[in-house]
Amino acid sequence: MEKNPLRALPDRRLHRIAGPCGIVLFGITGDLAKRKILPALYDLANRGLLPPSFSIVGIARRHIDVEQLFTESISKGAQTPVNPTTLNQLLSGLHLVVGAYDSDQLYTDISDTLKELDETRGTGGNFAFYLSIPPGLFPVVTRGLGIAGLNKTNGNNWRRVVIEKPFGHNLESAKELDGYLTGVFPEHSIFRIDHYLGKETVQNIMALRFANEFYEPLWNSNHIDHVQITMAEDIGIGSRAGYYDGIGATRDVIQNHLLQLLALTAMEEPISFTADELRAEKEKVLRATHLYGPVEKASVRAHYSAGCQGGQYVKGYKDEDGIPQDSITDTYGAIALTINTRRWSGVPFYLRAGKRLGRRVSEIAIAFKKPPFLPFEDAADLGQNTLVIRVQPNEGITFKFGSKVPGSEMRLRDVTMDFAYGHAFTDYTPEAYERLILDVLLGEPPLFPQSTELEESWRIIDEVENYWDSSPETLETYEPGTWGPKGADDMLAQHGHAWRRP
Ligand code: BG6
Protein backbone atom coordinates (compact mmCIF):
# COMPACT_ATOMS: atom_id res chain seq x y z
CA MET A 1 0.00 0.00 0.00
CA GLU A 2 1.26 3.50 -0.82
CA LYS A 3 2.30 5.46 2.24
CA ASN A 4 0.39 8.60 3.05
CA PRO A 5 3.06 11.34 3.10
CA LEU A 6 1.02 13.30 5.66
CA ARG A 7 1.56 10.48 8.13
CA ALA A 8 5.14 11.62 8.56
CA LEU A 9 3.99 14.99 9.87
CA PRO A 10 3.36 15.39 13.60
CA ASP A 11 -0.31 15.60 14.51
CA ARG A 12 -0.65 19.22 15.55
CA ARG A 13 -3.91 18.53 17.37
CA LEU A 14 -2.05 16.50 19.96
CA HIS A 15 -0.50 18.31 22.89
CA ARG A 16 3.20 17.94 23.32
CA ILE A 17 3.42 15.84 26.46
CA ALA A 18 6.65 14.96 28.22
CA GLY A 19 7.42 11.27 28.68
CA PRO A 20 8.45 9.72 32.03
CA CYS A 21 11.04 12.00 33.66
CA GLY A 22 11.96 14.26 36.55
CA ILE A 23 13.79 17.46 37.30
CA VAL A 24 16.61 18.01 39.77
CA LEU A 25 16.43 21.62 40.87
CA PHE A 26 19.61 23.10 42.32
CA GLY A 27 18.68 26.27 44.19
CA ILE A 28 15.10 25.33 45.04
CA THR A 29 15.04 27.93 47.82
CA GLY A 30 16.12 30.72 45.45
CA ASP A 31 13.98 33.55 44.16
CA LEU A 32 13.76 32.28 40.58
CA ALA A 33 12.79 28.76 41.62
CA LYS A 34 10.02 30.02 43.88
CA ARG A 35 8.69 32.72 41.54
CA LYS A 36 9.00 31.04 38.16
CA ILE A 37 10.27 27.47 37.96
CA LEU A 38 8.02 25.72 40.50
CA PRO A 39 4.85 27.55 39.38
CA ALA A 40 5.70 26.71 35.76
CA LEU A 41 6.05 23.01 36.65
CA TYR A 42 2.72 23.12 38.42
CA ASP A 43 1.00 24.84 35.47
CA LEU A 44 2.43 22.26 33.08
CA ALA A 45 1.17 19.44 35.28
CA ASN A 46 -2.21 21.11 35.67
CA ARG A 47 -2.53 21.34 31.90
CA GLY A 48 -1.79 17.63 31.60
CA LEU A 49 1.58 18.11 29.91
CA LEU A 50 3.68 16.24 32.47
CA PRO A 51 3.54 12.49 33.04
CA PRO A 52 1.83 11.27 36.23
CA SER A 53 5.20 9.95 37.44
CA PHE A 54 6.86 13.38 37.17
CA SER A 55 9.23 13.96 40.07
CA ILE A 56 10.95 17.03 41.44
CA VAL A 57 14.15 16.71 43.44
CA GLY A 58 15.06 19.97 45.16
CA ILE A 59 18.67 20.52 46.20
CA ALA A 60 19.34 22.87 49.09
CA ARG A 61 22.23 23.61 51.37
CA ARG A 62 20.14 23.30 54.53
CA HIS A 63 17.03 21.50 55.54
CA ILE A 64 13.73 23.19 54.70
CA ASP A 65 10.08 22.24 54.61
CA VAL A 66 10.03 21.60 50.88
CA GLU A 67 6.31 20.82 50.73
CA GLN A 68 5.50 24.15 52.31
CA LEU A 69 7.90 25.99 50.00
CA PHE A 70 6.32 24.29 46.99
CA THR A 71 2.73 24.94 48.05
CA GLU A 72 3.43 28.59 48.85
CA SER A 73 5.19 29.24 45.59
CA ILE A 74 2.28 27.65 43.67
CA SER A 75 -0.34 29.69 45.44
CA LYS A 76 1.60 32.89 44.70
CA GLY A 77 2.96 32.21 41.23
CA ALA A 78 0.82 29.70 39.33
CA GLN A 79 -1.28 30.91 36.42
CA THR A 80 -3.77 28.05 36.51
CA PRO A 81 -6.15 27.50 39.45
CA VAL A 82 -5.03 25.40 42.38
CA ASN A 83 -6.21 21.87 41.75
CA PRO A 84 -5.77 19.51 44.74
CA THR A 85 -5.33 16.46 42.50
CA THR A 86 -2.44 18.03 40.57
CA LEU A 87 -0.92 19.38 43.74
CA ASN A 88 -1.03 16.05 45.55
CA GLN A 89 0.35 14.24 42.54
CA LEU A 90 3.33 16.58 42.39
CA LEU A 91 3.82 16.54 46.16
CA SER A 92 3.99 12.75 46.08
CA GLY A 93 7.00 13.02 43.75
CA LEU A 94 8.69 15.91 45.55
CA HIS A 95 11.98 15.20 47.34
CA LEU A 96 14.65 17.24 49.00
CA VAL A 97 18.34 16.39 49.04
CA VAL A 98 20.43 18.50 51.41
CA GLY A 99 24.16 19.05 51.22
CA ALA A 100 27.05 21.32 50.33
CA TYR A 101 27.47 21.76 46.57
CA ASP A 102 31.16 20.88 46.85
CA SER A 103 30.71 17.65 48.81
CA ASP A 104 30.86 14.35 46.93
CA GLN A 105 28.26 12.99 49.34
CA LEU A 106 25.62 15.32 47.90
CA TYR A 107 25.97 13.78 44.45
CA THR A 108 25.94 10.24 45.84
CA ASP A 109 22.70 11.12 47.66
CA ILE A 110 21.21 12.58 44.48
CA SER A 111 22.19 9.45 42.59
CA ASP A 112 20.50 7.24 45.20
CA THR A 113 17.35 9.39 45.10
CA LEU A 114 17.15 9.17 41.31
CA LYS A 115 17.53 5.39 41.38
CA GLU A 116 14.77 5.17 43.95
CA LEU A 117 12.52 7.37 41.81
CA ASP A 118 13.16 5.20 38.79
CA GLU A 119 12.03 2.19 40.80
CA THR A 120 9.12 3.70 42.67
CA ARG A 121 7.76 6.18 40.13
CA GLY A 122 9.05 4.91 36.81
CA THR A 123 10.99 8.03 35.82
CA GLY A 124 12.98 5.87 33.41
CA GLY A 125 16.35 7.40 34.26
CA ASN A 126 15.38 10.61 32.46
CA PHE A 127 16.40 13.70 34.42
CA ALA A 128 17.07 17.37 33.76
CA PHE A 129 19.51 19.05 36.14
CA TYR A 130 18.39 22.65 36.46
CA LEU A 131 21.13 24.93 37.83
CA SER A 132 19.21 27.86 39.27
CA ILE A 133 22.23 28.91 41.31
CA PRO A 134 24.84 31.71 41.18
CA PRO A 135 27.09 31.21 38.15
CA GLY A 136 30.16 30.90 40.38
CA LEU A 137 28.78 27.52 41.45
CA PHE A 138 28.32 26.09 37.93
CA PRO A 139 31.83 24.56 37.76
CA VAL A 140 31.60 22.86 41.14
CA VAL A 141 28.13 21.47 40.47
CA THR A 142 28.85 20.24 36.95
CA ARG A 143 32.04 18.63 38.26
CA GLY A 144 30.05 16.92 41.04
CA LEU A 145 27.47 15.66 38.54
CA GLY A 146 30.24 14.33 36.33
CA ILE A 147 32.17 12.57 39.09
CA ALA A 148 29.02 10.84 40.30
CA GLY A 149 28.26 9.77 36.73
CA LEU A 150 24.93 11.59 36.78
CA ASN A 151 25.61 12.82 33.26
CA LYS A 152 25.77 9.27 31.90
CA THR A 153 23.01 7.61 29.94
CA ASN A 154 22.58 3.96 29.02
CA GLY A 155 21.38 4.72 25.51
CA ASN A 156 17.70 4.44 26.39
CA ASN A 157 17.39 7.38 28.75
CA TRP A 158 18.45 11.01 28.75
CA ARG A 159 20.28 13.42 31.05
CA ARG A 160 20.16 17.17 30.35
CA VAL A 161 21.51 20.23 32.09
CA VAL A 162 19.72 23.57 32.15
CA ILE A 163 21.63 26.71 33.02
CA GLU A 164 20.42 30.16 33.81
CA LYS A 165 22.18 33.33 32.80
CA PRO A 166 24.47 35.13 33.29
CA PHE A 167 26.50 32.83 31.06
CA GLY A 168 29.79 34.22 32.31
CA HIS A 169 30.86 37.77 33.06
CA ASN A 170 32.64 38.42 29.77
CA LEU A 171 33.75 36.50 26.70
CA GLU A 172 36.65 34.83 28.46
CA SER A 173 34.68 33.59 31.45
CA ALA A 174 31.79 32.51 29.18
CA LYS A 175 34.21 30.29 27.25
CA GLU A 176 35.64 28.94 30.48
CA LEU A 177 32.15 28.14 31.77
CA ASP A 178 31.33 26.44 28.53
CA GLY A 179 34.47 24.36 28.88
CA TYR A 180 33.21 23.06 32.24
CA LEU A 181 29.79 22.27 30.86
CA THR A 182 30.88 20.60 27.66
CA GLY A 183 33.48 18.61 29.60
CA VAL A 184 30.63 16.90 31.41
CA PHE A 185 27.58 17.08 29.13
CA PRO A 186 27.46 16.78 25.34
CA GLU A 187 26.40 20.02 23.60
CA HIS A 188 22.98 18.62 22.63
CA SER A 189 22.22 18.02 26.32
CA ILE A 190 22.98 21.61 27.40
CA PHE A 191 20.01 23.98 27.52
CA ARG A 192 20.89 27.64 28.15
CA ILE A 193 17.76 29.47 29.23
CA ASP A 194 17.02 32.93 27.93
CA HIS A 195 13.45 33.30 29.12
CA TYR A 196 12.69 36.04 26.56
CA LEU A 197 12.81 33.38 23.84
CA GLY A 198 9.98 31.55 25.60
CA LYS A 199 7.66 34.56 25.39
CA GLU A 200 4.86 34.21 22.85
CA THR A 201 5.41 37.71 21.52
CA VAL A 202 9.06 37.01 20.89
CA GLN A 203 8.29 33.85 18.94
CA ASN A 204 5.72 35.87 17.04
CA ILE A 205 8.53 38.02 15.57
CA MET A 206 9.28 35.05 13.31
CA ALA A 207 5.61 34.60 12.39
CA LEU A 208 5.20 38.29 11.65
CA ARG A 209 8.26 38.43 9.43
CA PHE A 210 8.13 35.12 7.63
CA ALA A 211 4.43 34.21 7.48
CA ASN A 212 3.41 37.46 5.80
CA GLU A 213 4.13 39.12 2.50
CA PHE A 214 3.66 42.64 3.75
CA TYR A 215 6.69 43.28 5.96
CA GLU A 216 9.71 41.49 4.57
CA PRO A 217 10.07 43.52 1.34
CA LEU A 218 10.35 46.65 3.50
CA TRP A 219 12.57 45.06 6.15
CA ASN A 220 15.89 46.63 5.11
CA SER A 221 17.94 49.80 5.01
CA ASN A 222 16.06 51.13 1.98
CA HIS A 223 12.97 51.62 4.09
CA ILE A 224 13.92 51.34 7.75
CA ASP A 225 15.42 54.39 9.40
CA HIS A 226 16.35 52.89 12.75
CA VAL A 227 15.25 50.31 15.32
CA GLN A 228 14.77 50.80 19.07
CA ILE A 229 14.70 47.83 21.43
CA THR A 230 13.60 48.69 24.95
CA MET A 231 13.34 46.70 28.14
CA ALA A 232 12.16 49.08 30.82
CA GLU A 233 11.19 48.11 34.34
CA ASP A 234 9.62 50.33 36.95
CA ILE A 235 10.92 48.26 39.87
CA GLY A 236 14.31 48.70 41.53
CA ILE A 237 16.68 45.86 42.31
CA GLY A 238 14.61 44.76 45.31
CA SER A 239 16.40 42.14 47.37
CA ARG A 240 18.70 41.04 44.55
CA ALA A 241 21.76 43.10 45.54
CA GLY A 242 23.92 40.00 45.81
CA TYR A 243 23.20 39.00 42.24
CA TYR A 244 22.94 42.43 40.65
CA ASP A 245 25.81 44.51 41.97
CA GLY A 246 28.86 44.11 39.76
CA ILE A 247 26.67 42.71 36.97
CA GLY A 248 24.37 45.60 36.09
CA ALA A 249 21.69 46.11 33.48
CA THR A 250 23.93 45.65 30.46
CA ARG A 251 25.22 42.23 31.47
CA ASP A 252 21.94 41.24 33.11
CA VAL A 253 19.64 41.78 30.15
CA ILE A 254 21.25 43.51 27.15
CA GLN A 255 23.89 40.80 26.67
CA ASN A 256 21.18 38.16 26.42
CA HIS A 257 17.50 39.18 26.12
CA LEU A 258 18.00 42.34 24.05
CA LEU A 259 20.64 40.96 21.73
CA GLN A 260 18.45 37.91 21.13
CA LEU A 261 15.59 40.26 20.21
CA LEU A 262 17.93 42.07 17.85
CA ALA A 263 18.97 38.77 16.29
CA LEU A 264 15.38 37.67 15.67
CA THR A 265 14.47 41.08 14.27
CA ALA A 266 17.44 41.32 11.94
CA MET A 267 18.29 37.75 10.92
CA GLU A 268 17.70 36.30 7.46
CA GLU A 269 14.90 33.79 6.99
CA PRO A 270 16.07 30.40 8.27
CA ILE A 271 15.59 27.41 5.96
CA SER A 272 13.54 25.82 8.73
CA PHE A 273 12.93 26.39 12.43
CA THR A 274 15.08 23.52 13.57
CA ALA A 275 17.64 24.42 16.22
CA ASP A 276 20.61 24.28 13.85
CA GLU A 277 19.07 26.46 11.16
CA LEU A 278 17.60 29.03 13.51
CA ARG A 279 20.71 29.33 15.65
CA ALA A 280 22.91 29.61 12.56
CA GLU A 281 20.92 32.62 11.32
CA LYS A 282 20.99 34.31 14.71
CA GLU A 283 24.69 33.73 15.06
CA LYS A 284 25.37 35.09 11.59
CA VAL A 285 23.61 38.36 12.26
CA LEU A 286 25.26 38.74 15.67
CA ARG A 287 28.66 38.23 14.07
CA ALA A 288 27.93 41.16 11.77
CA THR A 289 26.82 43.38 14.66
CA HIS A 290 29.14 46.13 15.92
CA LEU A 291 28.96 49.36 17.85
CA TYR A 292 27.57 52.22 15.80
CA GLY A 293 30.54 54.56 16.01
CA PRO A 294 33.24 54.88 18.68
CA VAL A 295 32.41 53.29 22.01
CA GLU A 296 32.29 56.61 23.86
CA LYS A 297 29.53 57.79 21.52
CA ALA A 298 27.71 54.49 21.32
CA SER A 299 27.25 53.58 24.98
CA VAL A 300 25.67 55.11 28.06
CA ARG A 301 25.31 53.80 31.58
CA ALA A 302 23.77 55.16 34.73
CA HIS A 303 22.15 54.20 37.99
CA TYR A 304 19.06 55.59 39.65
CA SER A 305 19.20 58.24 42.32
CA ALA A 306 16.75 58.54 45.19
CA GLY A 307 13.53 60.27 44.31
CA CYS A 308 9.83 60.03 43.85
CA GLN A 309 8.20 57.34 41.75
CA GLY A 310 4.46 56.91 41.42
CA GLY A 311 3.94 59.33 44.32
CA GLN A 312 6.28 57.40 46.63
CA TYR A 313 9.79 58.08 47.82
CA VAL A 314 12.21 55.41 46.62
CA LYS A 315 15.83 54.79 47.57
CA GLY A 316 18.71 55.48 45.23
CA TYR A 317 20.65 52.47 43.94
CA LYS A 318 23.58 53.05 46.27
CA ASP A 319 21.23 53.15 49.28
CA GLU A 320 19.58 49.84 48.46
CA ASP A 321 20.27 47.09 51.00
CA GLY A 322 23.54 45.34 50.29
CA ILE A 323 24.88 47.84 47.76
CA PRO A 324 28.23 49.47 48.60
CA GLN A 325 28.28 53.27 48.61
CA ASP A 326 31.01 53.34 45.97
CA SER A 327 29.23 50.99 43.56
CA ILE A 328 29.44 51.96 39.90
CA THR A 329 27.07 49.26 38.69
CA ASP A 330 24.67 50.34 35.94
CA THR A 331 20.95 49.97 36.48
CA TYR A 332 20.50 51.54 33.04
CA GLY A 333 22.46 50.72 29.92
CA ALA A 334 22.02 51.91 26.35
CA ILE A 335 24.08 51.02 23.31
CA ALA A 336 23.94 51.92 19.63
CA LEU A 337 24.71 49.11 17.22
CA THR A 338 24.82 48.57 13.53
CA ILE A 339 24.83 45.45 11.40
CA ASN A 340 27.34 45.18 8.61
CA THR A 341 25.27 43.39 5.99
CA ARG A 342 23.70 44.46 2.72
CA ARG A 343 20.28 44.42 4.38
CA TRP A 344 21.15 46.62 7.35
CA SER A 345 24.18 48.71 6.49
CA GLY A 346 23.83 52.18 8.06
CA VAL A 347 20.70 51.40 10.11
CA PRO A 348 21.25 52.06 13.82
CA PHE A 349 19.81 49.58 16.31
CA TYR A 350 19.46 51.31 19.68
CA LEU A 351 19.15 49.02 22.70
CA ARG A 352 18.28 50.23 26.20
CA ALA A 353 17.38 48.56 29.47
CA GLY A 354 16.86 49.94 32.90
CA LYS A 355 15.24 49.66 36.29
CA ARG A 356 13.12 52.35 37.97
CA LEU A 357 12.12 53.81 34.62
CA GLY A 358 8.82 55.43 33.66
CA ARG A 359 6.91 52.18 33.31
CA ARG A 360 7.33 48.49 32.66
CA VAL A 361 7.50 47.87 28.95
CA SER A 362 9.51 45.68 26.59
CA GLU A 363 9.17 46.45 22.91
CA ILE A 364 10.83 46.50 19.53
CA ALA A 365 10.06 49.63 17.52
CA ILE A 366 10.88 49.68 13.82
CA ALA A 367 10.91 53.30 12.61
CA PHE A 368 10.52 53.65 8.85
CA LYS A 369 12.02 56.39 6.73
CA LYS A 370 9.80 59.33 5.85
CA PRO A 371 8.48 59.44 2.29
CA PRO A 372 10.90 61.24 -0.04
CA PHE A 373 8.25 63.88 -0.76
CA LEU A 374 5.03 64.90 1.02
CA PRO A 375 2.55 66.64 -1.28
CA PHE A 376 0.64 68.16 1.67
CA GLU A 377 0.78 71.63 3.13
CA ASP A 378 -0.15 70.65 6.64
CA ALA A 379 1.98 67.63 7.45
CA ALA A 380 4.02 69.09 10.29
CA ASP A 381 2.45 66.77 12.89
CA LEU A 382 3.30 63.66 10.95
CA GLY A 383 5.91 61.36 12.46
CA GLN A 384 7.59 58.29 11.02
CA ASN A 385 5.65 55.12 10.22
CA THR A 386 6.50 52.89 13.15
CA LEU A 387 5.82 49.23 13.73
CA VAL A 388 5.94 48.38 17.41
CA ILE A 389 6.12 44.79 18.60
CA ARG A 390 4.99 45.01 22.22
CA VAL A 391 6.63 42.11 24.02
CA GLN A 392 4.91 43.06 27.28
CA PRO A 393 2.63 44.18 28.85
CA ASN A 394 -0.52 44.43 26.65
CA GLU A 395 1.15 42.06 24.22
CA GLY A 396 0.50 42.94 20.63
CA ILE A 397 1.60 44.86 17.58
CA THR A 398 0.89 48.46 16.71
CA PHE A 399 1.44 50.27 13.45
CA LYS A 400 1.61 54.04 13.42
CA PHE A 401 0.80 55.78 10.17
CA GLY A 402 -0.41 59.15 8.85
CA SER A 403 -4.09 59.79 8.31
CA LYS A 404 -6.32 62.67 7.30
CA VAL A 405 -8.01 64.43 10.18
CA PRO A 406 -11.77 64.60 9.41
CA GLY A 407 -12.82 68.03 8.20
CA SER A 408 -12.79 70.30 5.20
CA GLU A 409 -9.03 70.80 5.20
CA MET A 410 -6.35 68.28 4.30
CA ARG A 411 -4.80 68.06 7.73
CA LEU A 412 -2.69 65.04 8.68
CA ARG A 413 -2.02 63.31 11.93
CA ASP A 414 -0.53 60.05 13.16
CA VAL A 415 -2.96 57.27 14.06
CA THR A 416 -2.40 53.67 15.10
CA MET A 417 -3.63 50.27 14.05
CA ASP A 418 -3.58 47.83 16.92
CA PHE A 419 -3.42 44.09 17.25
CA ALA A 420 -3.80 42.86 20.84
CA TYR A 421 -3.33 39.21 21.72
CA GLY A 422 -6.04 39.51 24.33
CA HIS A 423 -8.60 40.53 21.69
CA ALA A 424 -7.56 38.20 18.90
CA PHE A 425 -7.07 34.99 20.87
CA THR A 426 -8.79 33.36 23.77
CA ASP A 427 -6.23 30.57 24.09
CA TYR A 428 -4.24 30.11 27.27
CA THR A 429 -0.86 31.85 26.97
CA PRO A 430 1.86 29.81 28.66
CA GLU A 431 4.43 31.64 30.73
CA ALA A 432 7.89 31.70 29.14
CA TYR A 433 9.23 29.27 31.74
CA GLU A 434 6.43 26.80 31.05
CA ARG A 435 7.23 26.70 27.37
CA LEU A 436 10.96 26.41 27.91
CA ILE A 437 10.87 23.77 30.64
CA LEU A 438 8.55 21.65 28.52
CA ASP A 439 10.99 22.00 25.61
CA VAL A 440 13.81 20.79 27.88
CA LEU A 441 11.80 17.75 28.94
CA LEU A 442 10.93 17.02 25.31
CA GLY A 443 14.53 17.60 24.20
CA GLU A 444 13.63 20.37 21.75
CA PRO A 445 16.41 22.95 21.57
CA PRO A 446 15.42 25.66 19.01
CA LEU A 447 14.49 28.23 21.65
CA PHE A 448 17.77 27.89 23.54
CA PRO A 449 20.72 29.98 22.39
CA GLN A 450 23.90 28.09 21.69
CA SER A 451 27.30 29.06 23.07
CA THR A 452 28.56 30.66 19.85
CA GLU A 453 25.66 33.15 19.85
CA LEU A 454 26.39 34.04 23.44
CA GLU A 455 30.06 34.49 22.66
CA GLU A 456 29.20 36.92 19.87
CA SER A 457 27.01 38.81 22.32
CA TRP A 458 29.88 38.98 24.80
CA ARG A 459 32.21 40.27 22.09
CA ILE A 460 29.85 43.22 21.61
CA ILE A 461 29.27 43.84 25.31
CA ASP A 462 32.92 43.38 26.34
CA GLU A 463 33.97 46.40 24.29
CA VAL A 464 31.46 48.53 26.16
CA GLU A 465 32.16 47.12 29.63
CA ASN A 466 35.94 47.41 29.15
CA TYR A 467 35.54 51.04 28.19
CA TRP A 468 33.31 51.71 31.21
CA ASP A 469 35.81 49.97 33.50
CA SER A 470 38.56 52.26 32.32
CA SER A 471 36.37 55.39 32.47
CA PRO A 472 34.49 55.51 35.79
CA GLU A 473 33.39 59.09 35.04
CA THR A 474 31.01 57.74 32.37
CA LEU A 475 28.56 56.69 35.08
CA GLU A 476 25.54 59.01 35.10
CA THR A 477 22.50 59.08 37.36
CA TYR A 478 18.80 59.38 36.57
CA GLU A 479 15.71 60.18 38.55
CA PRO A 480 13.36 57.28 39.28
CA GLY A 481 10.25 57.28 37.13
CA THR A 482 12.00 59.01 34.21
CA TRP A 483 13.29 57.50 30.97
CA GLY A 484 16.95 57.40 31.91
CA PRO A 485 19.98 59.70 31.87
CA LYS A 486 20.60 62.68 29.63
CA GLY A 487 23.52 60.94 27.93
CA ALA A 488 21.11 58.42 26.43
CA ASP A 489 19.12 61.21 24.78
CA ASP A 490 22.34 62.77 23.52
CA MET A 491 23.47 59.44 22.08
CA LEU A 492 20.45 59.36 19.78
CA ALA A 493 20.34 63.10 19.15
CA GLN A 494 23.79 62.95 17.48
CA HIS A 495 22.12 60.85 14.76
CA GLY A 496 18.97 62.99 14.60
CA HIS A 497 16.88 60.46 16.56
CA ALA A 498 15.02 60.46 19.86
CA TRP A 499 13.97 57.66 22.19
CA ARG A 500 10.34 56.70 22.24
CA ARG A 501 8.45 57.40 25.45
CA PRO A 502 6.28 54.28 25.39
C1 BG6 B 1 15.67 38.77 34.20
C2 BG6 B 1 16.58 39.79 34.84
O3 BG6 B 1 16.35 38.06 33.21
O4 BG6 B 1 14.56 39.43 33.62
C5 BG6 B 1 15.84 40.64 35.83
O6 BG6 B 1 17.65 39.13 35.49
C7 BG6 B 1 14.59 41.22 35.21
O8 BG6 B 1 16.68 41.69 36.31
C9 BG6 B 1 13.76 40.13 34.56
O10 BG6 B 1 13.83 41.85 36.24
C11 BG6 B 1 12.57 40.71 33.84
O12 BG6 B 1 11.84 39.69 33.20
P13 BG6 B 1 10.43 39.99 32.55
O14 BG6 B 1 10.04 38.70 31.94
O15 BG6 B 1 9.54 40.43 33.67
O16 BG6 B 1 10.65 41.10 31.55
- Alpha carbons 261 and 230: distance in angstroms, whole number: 10
Q: Hey, whose CA ends up nearest to atom 8 of ligand 1?
A: 252
- Alpha carbons 348 and 496: distance in angstroms, whole number: 11
Q: Report the binding-site residues for NADP(+).
A: 61, 165
- Alpha carbons 307 and 304: distance in angstroms, whole number: 9
Could you list the active site residues? 257
Is residue 337 within 6 Å of ligand 1 at its C-beta?
no
Is residue 252 within 6 Å of ligand 1 at its C-beta?
yes
| Residue from 195, 243, 392 to probe ligand 1 pocket by mutation (most atoms less than 8 Å from CB) | 195
The closest alpha carbon to 488, from 311, 357, 326, belongs to: 357
DSSP assignment of 43-108: HHHHTT-S-TT-EEEEEESS---HHHHHHHHHHHH-SSPP-HHHHHHHHHTEEEEE--TT-HHHHH
Query: How many other C-beta atoms can be found within 10 angstroms of the C-beta atom of residue 309?
Result: 19
| 432 CA: nearest ligand 1 atom | 14
Report residue 493 CA to chain centroid gap.
29
Cβ-based burial of 102 (10 A; exposed 0-12, middle 13-18, buried ≥19): exposed
Query: How many other C-beta atoms can be found within 10 angstroms of the C-beta atom of residue 314?
Result: 19
Q: What values do phi and psi take at 35, rounded to 5? A: -80, -35
Cβ-based burial of 19 (10 A; exposed 0-12, middle 13-18, buried ≥19): middle
SS3 158: coil
Per-residue pLDDT of the chain (502 residues; tens, 9 = 90+): 444 444 444 444 456 899 999 999 999 999 999 999 999 999 999 999 999 999 999 999 999 999 999 999 999 999 999 899 999 999 999 999 999 999 999 999 999 999 999 999 999 999 999 999 988 899 999 999 999 999 999 989 999 999 998 889 999 999 999 999 999 999 999 999 999 999 999 999 999 999 999 999 999 999 999 999 999 999 999 888 988 999 999 999 999 999 999 999 999 999 999 999 999 999 999 999 999 999 999 999 999 999 999 899 999 999 999 999 999 999 999 999 999 999 999 999 999 999 999 999 999 999 999 999 999 988 888 999 999 999 999 899 999 999 999 999 899 999 999 999 989 998 888 999 999 999 999 999 999 999 999 999 999 999 999 999 999 999 999 999 999 999 999 999 999 999 999 8
Number of H helices, E strands in the chain: 16, 18
* The total number of residues written for the chain in this structure: 502
Whole-angstrom CA distances from 238 to 253, 359, 394 are 16, 16, 24
SS3 385: coil
Query: How many other C-beta atoms can be found within 10 angstroms of the C-beta atom of residue 290?
Result: 14
Is residue 253 within 6 Å of ligand 1 at its C-beta?
yes
SS3 241: helix
